[in-house]
Amino acid sequence: MRVTEKGQVTIPKAIRDHLGITPGTEVDFVREGNAVRVVRIVSDESARRAKAIEAWADRVTGTLDLDGMDGKEYVDWLRGPREDLDPR
């Protein structure tokens, strides 16, 4: 990588994807000896939301009773009859 005249570098896509860095994401550079590590900054609000979602997922895990239906049957039941696709 090359540093621009403004001191900018492009973070490679594979690293951005791995760290979840998207436009607007804040990052920090951490010195470790002769190396520098790029870290994604997670705001308190983001961390709070992530914990809330994880807690909800834990609470609802195993609570859906499909009454023996497989995935396709369940989706068909949710959608209801489709007269436009199956005229009788």
Cα 18 vs. chain centroid, distance in angstroms?
11
What is the pLDDT, as a whole number, of residue 12?
92
Q: How many folded domains does the chain comprise?
A: 1
In a domain, 64, yes or no: yes
In a domain, 4, yes or no: no
pTM: 0.44
Q: What is the mean pLDDT of residues 31-43?
A: 88
pLDDT digits (tens, 9 = 90+) for 56-75: 999 998 888 888 898 889 88
In a domain, 6, yes or no: no
Cα 32 vs. chain centroid, distance in angstroms?
29
Name the residue range of residue 71's domain.
44-79
In a domain, 65, yes or no: yes
In a domain, 69, yes or no: yes
d(CA 46, CA 75): 32
